[in-house]
Each structure stands twice: as C-alpha cells, then as structure tokens.
C-alpha cells in the first residue's frame, strides 16, 4: 500500500490502453492525425518527408495531401504557413524519428502518416500522460508531504476523472497532454530552483518555459509560477527581487534557455513574414473579446461548461480554501493562473474551443489544480471516517461519471460542439444517442461568434408539427437522402414532395411519437 499512488498511475495507463485496444482509432487513416492535429503535426512530415518548410509541395500536388494538411492559411503575399507554433511537434519528434528512419531503412513507405506514425504519436502521448501523473505524485508526496493514499486519489481524479482521458485515448496528438506534462515539470523545476538557485536550474526553467509557450503561446501566463511560487507576503516578493539582483547570471541563464528554444520558431517567422512576431492565429478574424467574456457559458453551459462535463474540477475550486490555510506558499501562483486563464478562455471568440469533450483548454493546468484537490482530500481524511467515507464515494462517483461520459462522447451521445439542455438530458444515462438527439443539438454560429454575439439555443422541439418540419428539413438538406427519395418517387410515379411528406409522417409515427 506504500506504493498505491504508483499502482494508480499504472491502473490509469491500463485503462487508456484498453480504450485504444477496444476502439482501435490508430487503424483508421482519418483518425489520430485529424482536425487541429494537422496543424500541430504538419511540421514533422514537412521537414522529414518533404524537406520543405515553405509547404510549396501542397500547391504542387494538393489532391495527394488534402486529407493530411490544412492548407487554407496564407500570408498576404500568398505563402502557405504553419498556423500553430512548433512546440507540439518538438515533443512528438523523439517518438516519430525512430519510426521514420526504421521505415526508410527497411524499404517501407515513410510518408509521415501511416499506422506506425499514428502508433508512435499514441506512445508519445502515453509517455507524457504517465510523466505528468508521476509529477503530481512527487508534488503531493514530496512537496506537500501528504500521504500516498491522498496522492493516489488525486492521481485517480486527474487521470481518469477529467476530460484528459479523451486527449490521451481518443485525440492524443492534440496539444493538451503535452502542456499538462510541461507545465507540471515547470512547477517542479521552479520549486527545485528556489531550493537551490544554481544556473543549471535556471537554464532548465527557461528551456521548459520556452517549450510551454512554444506549444501554446497563451500559456505564457504560467510565467506567474516563478513570480509567485513560495510567496506568502510582501517580504517574500522583496526577497525574490533581491535573489535575482544578487544573481544576475542566473536570470541571464533563464532568459537564454527561453531564447534557445524559441530561436528556430523566430527564424521561421523571419523567413516567412519578415518579422519575429508573426503568429498564425493573428492573421484571420479569430480574436478575443476581452470586454465580453463568456464566463458563465465557459464554466456552466450545456454546450461546453467546464464544471458540467468535468465536475471533478469543482473539488479543485473548493480545495483552494485548504490550500490557502495549509499550503499558502503554493496558493497565490495557482489561483492567479486559474483566474486569468478562465478570463482568457472565456474571452476567446469560440469560448467552446471547437470540437472537444468539455473545456479542453483547462487540461493544460491540471497538474497545478491537482494540488488544491490534494489539499481538500487531505482535509477530509483528517476528520476521520465521518468525512473519509463520503470523500471516497464522491471520488469514485466522479471517476465513474467521467468515464461514462467519455463513452457517451465516443458513441455520439455527447456532441463535440453542439450540445443543448434538451440534448444533454435526452442523453442522460444513455450510452448511445436516441432518435431525437439530432433534433436537440444546435451548431454554434461561428460568424456571429466572430463578432462577439452568442444567441441562446433554440427551444426544444416538442409538438408533432415541429418534429415533422424538422425531419423534412433534415431530409431536404441531405444530398444522399434527396437522391434516395428522388429515386423512390420516380419508381412510384409520384411527386417528390408527396413521397417525402408521406415518409416523414411514417418516420415520426414509428420512431419518434412514442419515444420517451
């Protein structure tokens, strides 16, 4: 039982591997390297396979690469560019390189996208997931000085009780598990630096911070960790300033470490755009609305509410009370980062962050939020059985609830971006979507969102006439369905409208009218 937390990490890995084994996403050409991954990962095949960071090969043979690259992004002078910075690709590279050169040496096609590459990406995400959980164990046991049992429960909640599961088991090549690991590592190195402020620790801080921001520039806010970590009062801040005043060489090493990591990206920016500050997300009409943050929607809405789809994080918020009382040196840095991140995430025009399970943008700081969770669990355990048993029940219910919702998401009972109140409660307790589910979801209006306008979801469809109108519209906007009904109308020698209306009424009466 002394190694319960280590066993919990292994258990989390086994569950994730089981999902991979059951679902077998890596077998499909259109999975793993999909969606935004095509931005993050594009650096690697462009350099290893095509040896061309200008992406000119996409114009030469667009049909060959249309499924693997997103090619809509160009500079004003027509140059294609990588929309995302190279941080994710940098962490993926150690797992891709052996596969790539093995395939080349053995005479197999080394195209950058085949199954061996997809498996390598999965192995990489599992490695960073494992290391992130292990860092949580170290912080809870060695820095907070809490029991192995508390560490195990904290790891279980983070590892299987949150939406990180999807981003290791279903979409492992997106940025979040890499940020989860690197931000946890940054906290660990920062703590080590203040215990032993040598230049090597400073250089490591700069390097890891560089990687964090290279993965996702908005995570620049975790720079508050070295500013506020260990601070409990004004004199601590003064002492921190004096530390760097007396050791300017250490501060220089932090800066140099950061610059070294960012140099390739800056050189690419200079080559592409003629300046060092080019950022792909800043070239379109995607923007922040800092005067109109959708905080309530971001945290509580049926579309993507963080606390609704990841209720384990409610424990993190409650845990700040215990963190402040018993671990104040950790309190201010984590609280400040969470508050600022909520504001930033809620201000992004697409506050739901596209297709995802819940609010994926918060996964990046889960290693930080593990600490208030651990503080809360420790407080509960200190009160004896009267709180220990309820806490254990809550933890396991939260894990079960999350894993059930993960299954719902993978089966389509939770939509990746179009959930409404009606859709949520229609799917509640069901592993698969009902016949009515499609009528209840509502796609977000991206054009209005780019103007900072967010209309309320439509009213739930209830009456017979509303259902018939919905089903008819659904058919008429589906090309395959219209072809089927056109052929059926010709065969029956009846008008197309008549056939559609007859079948819509039949579908409603047999599949919708009597469904609970």
Contact in structure between 285 and 89 (CB atoms under 8 Å):
no
Sign of CA dihedral 75, 81, 83, 84: negative
Neighbours of 137 (CB within 10 A): 20
- For 207, the token pair is 């390097």
**Cα–Cα–Cα angle for 167, 173, 176, nearest 5°?**
50
SS3 196: coil
Distance, CA of 311 to CA of 419 (rounded, Å)? 17
Sign of CA dihedral 424, 425, 431, 433: negative
Report the DSSP beta bridge partners of residue 74.
Answer: 80
In angstroms, the Cα distances linking 9 to 5, 134, 179, 350 are 6, 7, 18, 34
Per-residue pLDDT at 394? 97
- Which positions ≥6 away from 480 have C-beta within 8 Å? none
**Residues 343-400 pLDDT 10s:** 999 999 999 999 999 999 999 999 999 999 999 999 999 998 889 999 999 999 999 9
User: DSSP labels for 289-317?
Assistant: -TTS--HHHHHH-TTT-HHHH-THHHHHH
What radius of gyration, in Å, describes the C-alpha atoms of the chain? 25
User: What is the pTM (predicted TM-score) of this model?
Assistant: 0.92
Contact in structure between 119 and 26 (CB atoms under 8 Å):
yes
Residue with tokens 């991140």: 341
Per-residue pLDDT at 2? 67
Per-residue pLDDT at 275? 78
Per-residue pLDDT at 385? 87
Per-residue pLDDT at 4? 95
| 3-state SS, one letter per residue, for 356-385 | CCCCHHHHHHHHHHHHHHHHHHHHHHHCCH
User: DSSP labels for 145-178?
Assistant: ---HHHHHHHHHHHHHSSGGGHHHHTSTTSSHHH
% of the chain with per-residue pLDDT over 70: 98
Among candidate residues 375, 329, 336, 374, the one with its CA nearest the CA of residue 191 = 329
Per DSSP, 280 falls in state G
| pLDDT mean by block of 10 residues, the chain; 516 residues | 89 97 92 92 95 88 80 78 93 98 95 96 98 98 96 98 97 97 98 94 97 96 94 87 89 96 93 77 79 97 97 98 96 97 97 95 98 97 91 97 97 96 95 92 93 86 86 88 91 90 87 66
**Cα–Cα–Cα angle for 275, 276, 277, nearest 5°?**
100
Among candidate residues 225, 253, 236, 272, the one with its CA nearest the CA of residue 86 = 272
Per DSSP, 80 falls in state B
Neighbours of 327 (CB within 10 A): 20
Q: Where are the domains of the chain?
A: 4-55+118-404, 464-512
Q: 504 exposed, middle or buried (CB, 10 Å; 0-12, 13-18, 19+)?
A: buried
Neighbours of 235 (CB within 10 A): 9
Distance, CA of 38 to CA of 67 (rounded, Å)? 9
SS3 content of the chain, % helix, strand, coil (to 5): 70, 0, 30
Contact in structure between 92 and 32 (CB atoms under 8 Å):
no
Per-residue pLDDT at 454? 94
- For 125, the token pair is 């995400």
Residue with tokens 């369905």: 481
Among candidate residues 49, 131, 132, 124, the one with its CA nearest the CA of residue 89 = 124
Distance, CA of 284 to CA of 300 (rounded, Å)? 28
Among candidate residues 1, 124, 145, the one with its CA nearest the CA of residue 137 = 145
Per-residue pLDDT at 71? 66
Per-residue pLDDT at 282? 58
In angstroms, the Cα distances linking 33 to 27, 164, 217 are 11, 18, 22
Distance, CA of 184 to CA of 418 (rounded, Å)? 32
Per-residue pLDDT at 516? 47
**Residues 28-82 pLDDT 10s:** 988 999 989 999 999 999 999 999 998 888 888 877 777 788 866 788 788 888 8
Per-residue pLDDT at 1? 56
* 353 dihedral zone (left: phi>0; alpha: psi -120 to 50; beta): left
């Amino acid at each position: 039982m002394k190694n319960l937390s280590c066993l919990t990490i292994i258990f989390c890995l086994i569950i994730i591997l089981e999902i991979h084994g059951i679902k077998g996403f890596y077998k499909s050409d259109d999975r793993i390297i999909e969606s935004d991954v095509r931005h993050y990962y594009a650096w690697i095949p462009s350099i290893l396979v095509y040896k061309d960071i200008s992406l000119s090969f996409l114009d030469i043979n667009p049909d060959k690469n249309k499924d693997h690259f997103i090619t809509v992004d160009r500079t004003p002078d027509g140059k294609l560019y990588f929309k995302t910075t190279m941080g994710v690709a940098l962490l993926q590279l150690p797992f891709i390189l052996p596969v790539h050169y093995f395939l080349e040496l053995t005479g197999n096609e080394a195209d950058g996208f085949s199954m061996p590459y997809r498996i390598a990406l999965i192995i990489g995400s599992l490695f960073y997931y494992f290391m992130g959980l292990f860092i949580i164990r170290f912080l809870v046991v060695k820095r907070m000085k809490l029991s192995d049992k508390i560490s195990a429960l904290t790891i279980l909640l983070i590892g299987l009780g949150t939406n990180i599961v999807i981003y290791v088991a279903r979409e492992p090549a997106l940025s979040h598990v890499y940020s989860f690991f690197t931000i946890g590592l940054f906290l660990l190195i920062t703590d080590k630096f203040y215990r032993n402020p040598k230049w090597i620790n400073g250089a490591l801080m700069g390097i890891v911070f560089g990687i964090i921001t290279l993965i996702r520039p908005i995570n620049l806010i975790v720079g508050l960790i070295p500013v506020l970590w260990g601070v409990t009062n004004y004199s601590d801040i003064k002492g921190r300033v004096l530390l760097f005043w007396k050791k300017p060489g250490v501060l220089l090493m932090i800066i140099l470490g950061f610059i070294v990591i960012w140099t390739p990206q800056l050189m690419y920016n200079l080559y592409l755009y003629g300046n060092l500050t080019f950022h792909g997300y800043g070239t379109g009409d995607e923007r922040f609305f800092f005067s109109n943050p959708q905080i309530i929607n971001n945290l509580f809405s049926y579309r993507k509410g963080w606390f609704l789809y990841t209720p384990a994080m409610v424990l993190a918020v409650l845990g700040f009370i215990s963190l402040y009382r018993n671990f104040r040196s950790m309190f201010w840095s984590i609280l400040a980062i969470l508050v600022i991140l909520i504001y930033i995430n809620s201000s992004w025009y697409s506050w739901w962050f596209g297709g995802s399970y819940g609010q994926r943008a918060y996964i990046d700081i889960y290693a930080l939020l593990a600490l208030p969770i651990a503080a809360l669990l420790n407080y509960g355990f200190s009160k004896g059985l009267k709180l220990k048993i309820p806490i254990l029940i809550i933890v396991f219910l939260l894990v079960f609830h999350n894993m059930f919702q993960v299954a719902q998401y993978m089966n389509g009972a939770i939509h990746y971006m179009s959930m409404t109140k009606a859709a949520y409660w229609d799917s509640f307790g069901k592993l698969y979507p009902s016949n009515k589910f499609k009528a209840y979801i509502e796609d977000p209006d991206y054009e209005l969102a780019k103007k900072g306008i967010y209309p309320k979801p439509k009213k739930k469809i209830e009456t017979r006439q509303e259902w018939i109108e919905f089903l008819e519209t659904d058919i008429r906007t589906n090309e395959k369905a219209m072809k089927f009904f056109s052929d059926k109308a010709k065969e029956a020698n009846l008008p197309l409208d008549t056939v559609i209306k007859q079948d819509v009424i039949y579908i409603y009466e047999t599949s919708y009218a009597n469904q609970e």
